[in-house]
Structure 1
């Protein structure tokens, strides 16, 4: 008689599973067509569950503990087999051990971008990735819906199924979160905490739950990130005219330190640009001379000096400063002085509102700008007491 024949001829009196892997969810006890001895010892360790299956039908499930198999603690199996009370003969049944610990080595990511509508940027495309953990909460449902008769059901066999559900739910979660695109990074934890219960509810029918869902990163397409970088640079630069002058001065210094070749060409170009700028300044109208006689230098005769011709009309009015106001997260303007009075009257412009005009280094509260001191007026003193 061979070794396998000897093994097949014995009754099973100890049933247990010592898991030496990190990715096995379900493991079928190797029975080798042997019968299980009545009063056999069943050991179910912590983070395990044992499920008996009789001829394809799920019978009794056992939580962690040590059991002596009898008809009293196997009511479903006793009913399926028609055992009477006190039945003590060996029997045949499949025993599946299910790991109920958390499996934390799952990763997810969006293969294709998710299209969302952002209140500031309009239609945007986002990509995201992260991790999640999985736990079995209903072993019979898992065997019935996913594992089946698989003798060793592993995490890789259920990972893709869960990832597809995550991606389908992620777009809805981001769209309904009501978080602007630029603030998503600060809300990743909150969105992940909302997604975990929703995913667990959807996976409850197959006996699984998602105890933890993590969003590690939400990113934009490269071209959108480049545009945001440009926008950030413009905000840091501030006054573009002053920045241009500063860059021109630096370029002149670089050209002087690099005579010949590119330095000479750069110097010629900068010289032409400066010449045009000086010419524009000289073309600006000078203040009109007051009517009367021109006054000659002291010691010269009065002859030859003629009365200055009267001006054709008054000089142009000075250009009013154009102001911008920051209110409710939006940039309003430009406004002249009258426009600012209207904003104060409507309550949009307050002493705490941020204002800016060309030449200012940064946005400043209106109360700290001397030019706007007359907009808000002074608070009158209290009325004197009535005598």
Structure 2
């Protein structure tokens, strides 16, 4: 049986890539030690290509599916190889590598580290992570074989993903730095950002022998420091808007807020005294602000002489959480008592 198997291998003459693994991108043909015979037939299946390597150099690339008779078909490189080999036996073996010619779809990517750039609106550093998917194909199989695969017997889509992801960060950072997209613009302009990054990736990967056919950004995530800064800006903006609604400027609101915090921070006899004094001062300042908003810097706001207007302003301050429920009730009673 062993003798028959050995003889059968010697008589085989068909070279083909049968049932390649789903993640196979490049794979060397070995087929249990078969060697090329003088009348071998090469079969290149749909979506496949084949590279012949002799003495460390790429001698030919078959990029069209079909069947090739290596003895009779007009293949210039074959004559060159045959001249180096006596009866197809030589110390230099021919390397046959099949590769996947189809587009590799929906490969996932994500930035490996935080991308830093200066936000053009708020003028502070932003830390961003992004993720998405891409598709690609081998545009120059021989170049890819020489520049990426090298002496490896197989090369997978996972290996190429590592190569691609490692090179995404810098083009993405460069584009964000020059595009002037701020924190609030990132998510609404993901398609434009992806298109801009793709233009930076194409020449880079063309040198390696493959082309990105589709590049998408599915989502982004900002670091904790960036989120803290943004939330602080949002809070200050909301407070400033609330101050405007009650006829005070933001500086005056901050002063009142500080005094209220001092009044709340009671501890021991001295603290109670300070709290009481701050509370009285706070009440006086509220009264002053309500009776004369112009003193707080809002020169355009009218003086609220009508008790109904005072009550309406007082309610707005309470709803904006600028005063507590106790302060609201006390001041409301004072206004009503003065009617």
TM surpasses 0.5 = yes
* Higher CA-based Rg: 1
Aligned partners of 2:16, 2:29: CA distance in 1, in Å? 8
Q: Distance in 2 between matches of 1:319 and 1:226?
A: 29
Please state whether the residue corresponding to 2:30 is helix, strand or coil: coil
The answer to whether 1:55 aligns with 2:49 is no
RMSD: 4.4
CA apart distance, 1:219: 3.1
2:216 match: 214
1:118 paired residue number: 119
Deviation at 1:49, TM superposition (A): 0.7
Asked if the contact 1:126–1:218 (Cα under 8 Å) also holds between the matched residues in 2, the reply is: no
Q: How big is each residue's C-alpha offset from its partner over 1:327-366, in whole Å with a ceiling of 9 and x where there is no partner?
A: xxxxxxxxxxxxxxxxxxxxxxxxxxxxxxx99x9xxxxx
**TM-fit CA distance, 1:234:** 4.1
Q: 1:143–1:157: structure 2 CA closer, same or farther, 3 Å change rule?
A: same
Q: Distance in 2 between matches of 1:277 and 1:198?
A: 59
* Residues 149 and 138 of structure 1, relative CA distance in 2, 3 Å threshold: same
Check the 8 A contact 1:11/1:35 in 2, yes or no. no
Structure 1 residue 25 displacement after superposition: 0.8
Q: 1:127 to 1:24 in 2, by over 3 A?
A: same
The 1:4–1:185 alpha-carbon spacing in structure 2 relative to 1, beyond 3 Å, is: farther
Question: What is the SS of the residue equivalent to 1:59?
Answer: strand
1:289 is aligned to: none
Alignment partner, residue 79 of structure 1: 80
Compute the displacement of 1:144 (Å): 1.3
* Contact 1:44/1:50, CA 8 A, preserved across alignment: yes
What is the DSSP-based 3-state SS (H/G/I as helix, E as strand, rest coil) of the residue aligned with 2:213?
Answer: coil
Matched, 1:239 2:242: yes
1:342 aligns with none
State the partner residue of 1:24. 24
1:19 deviates by: 3.5
User: Hey, what's the Cα distance between the residues in 1 that align with 2:35 and 2:285?
Assistant: 105
RCO comparison, higher one (Cα < 8 Å, 6+): 2
- Alpha-carbon separation, structure 1, partners of 2:297 and 2:204: 63
Contact map agreement 2:82 2:88 (CA 8 A) in 1? no
Residue 197 of structure 1 corresponds to which residue in structure 2?
199
Does the 8 Å CA contact 1:8/1:32 hold for their aligned counterparts?
no
Query: Which residue does the alignment assign to 1:45?
Result: 45
Note the C-alpha offset of 1:6. 0.5
Where does residue 189 of structure 2 map in the other structure? Answer: 187
CA contact (8 A) 2:198 2:215 kept: yes
Paired position in structure 2 for 1:66: 66
Map Cα deviations across residues 179-228 of structure 1 (whole Å, 9 max, x no partner).
22321221221111222232121122221122222223333321321232
Indicate conservation of the 8 Å contact 1:110/1:127, yes or no. no
* Distance change in 2, residues 1:3/1:190 (3 Å): farther
Tell me, in whole angstroms, the C-alpha distance in 1 between the residues paired with 2:22 and 2:223: 36
The 8 Å contact of residues 110 and 129 in structure 1, kept in 2 or not, is answered as no
Report the Cα distance in structure 1 between the residues aligned to 2:196 and 2:76, rounded to whole angstroms. 40
Match of 2:146? 144
Aligned to 1:367: none
Please name the residue that 1:12 is paired with: 12
By percentage of residues, which structure has more helix? 2
Partner of residue 320, structure 2? none
Match of 1:347 in 2: none
Stretches of structure 2 lacking an aligned partner (at least 5 in a row): 258-272, 302-312, 317-339
Asked if structure 1 preserves the Cα contact closer than 8 Å seen for 2:49 and 2:61, the reply is: yes
Could you tell me which runs of 5 or more consecutive residues in structure 1 were left unpaired when the two chains were aligned.
84-88, 249-267, 287-316, 325-357, 362-387
Question: Aligned partners of 1:283 and 1:174: how far apart in 2?
Answer: 49
Alignment partner, residue 170 of structure 1 = 172
State the distance in 1 between where 2:6 and 2:43 align: 24
After superposition, the C-alpha distances for 1:37-56 in whole angstroms (9 at most, x for unaligned) are 34533222222111112232
